[in-house]
Amino acid sequence: MDTAILSLKNLTFYRNEKPIFEPITFDVFQGDVVHVKGKNGSGKTTLLRMLIGALHPSEGNIEYNHIEINRTRFEYLSNLVYVGHKVALKSSLTALENLAWISGRDKKCESLIKALEDMGLSEKKNVLCSELSVGQQRKLTLARILVSDAKIWFLDEPFNTLDSDGFTLLRDLIEAHKNNQGIVVYASHQNVSISDVKTIQLEKAIP
């Protein structure tokens, strides 16, 4: 029997002393892709930030390999990568310099060049971020997952602003990571054709 890598147990978060969504209990296994769904303001980003340890749950807990994440924080964080919904890049740096900065790698690292190639940005590596289109900036931010060795990807609205080629590319990357027994948890208002996707539907808490 498979063992859960990530377990959410009666998890919720309070805002103004009230829960923003009904408690969640959910197990995530190797090779799982999980789509977090919900209306705007339903708490999708809040849930992801709890899952990466940036916010503490108001109720419930999160376990990594059956140990609460606060008790295995270093191991847990070293096995995940998070890409938020905002494009956090420096306009004064080139695409290559930005990728080196957000990934903590030397800009001479071959994996950075390969990641830019895979994202279709090899010809833009020496272009300032301020001169890239919004979609190209999004691709550059997402290139971080290709540089990372993390087994768990947390992605917040990753398909936003991508053109059709970028959309297909990211979908294929998620499928490939899944097939390599990686885990992807992504929040999106879009329905994406990915095989065997599991769903967390955030429901507004009943007063």
pLDDT digits (tens, 9 = 90+) for 71-117: 999 999 999 999 998 888 999 999 999 999 988 887 778 899 999 99
Q: What is the spatial distance between Cα 114 and Cα 4, in angstroms, rounded to a whole number?
A: 32
Integer CA distances (angstroms), 42 to 46, 108, 113, in order = 9, 42, 38
Tell me the pLDDT band of 5, cut-offs 50, 70 and 90.
very high
pLDDT for position 175: 95
Say how many Å lie between the first and final Cα of the chain, rounded. 38
3-class DSSP assignment, residue 90: coil
Does any domain span residue 21? Answer: yes
Q: What is the CATH number of the domain that holds 195?
A: 3.40.50.300
pLDDT at 205 over 80: no
Number of independent structural domains in the chain = 1
Give the Cβ contact number of residue 71 at 10 Å: 10
Q: DSSP letter for 181, please.
A: T
pLDDT at 66 over 70: yes
Does any domain span residue 73? Answer: yes
pLDDT for position 61: 96
Stretch 137-144: mean pLDDT: 93
What is the pTM for the complete model shown?
0.92
pLDDT at 24 over 70: yes
Does any domain span residue 101? Answer: no
Q: Which helix (H) or strand (E) holds 60?
A: strand 59-64
The upper half-sphere exposure of residue 114, i.e. CA atoms within 13 Å in the direction of its Cβ, equals 7
Tell me the pLDDT band of 207, cut-offs 50, 70 and 90.
low
CB 50 within 8 A of CB 57: yes
CB 49 within 8 A of CB 15: no
Q: DSSP letter for 3, please.
A: -
Which domain covers residue 193, as residue numbers? 1-79+154-161+181-207
7-11 contacts at long range (C-beta below 8 A, 24 or more positions apart)? 7/62, 7/63, 7/66, 8/51, 8/60, 8/62, 9/60, 9/61, 9/62, 9/63, 10/59, 10/60, 10/61, 11/47, 11/50, 11/57, 11/59, 11/60, 11/61, 11/62
* Phi-psi domain of 116 (left: phi exceeds 0; alpha: psi -120 through 50; beta: other): alpha
Q: Which helix (H) or strand (E) holds 88?
A: none
Q: Which has more pLDDT, 40 or 66?
A: 66
Stretch 127-141: mean pLDDT: 93
Q: The tokens 């971080």 sit on which residue?
A: 144
Does any domain span residue 129? Answer: no
pLDDT for position 180: 95
Does any domain span residue 144? Answer: no
Taking only the tens place, the pLDDT of each residue in 148-195 is: 989 999 999 999 988 888 899 999 999 999 999 999 999 998 888 888
pLDDT for position 8: 98
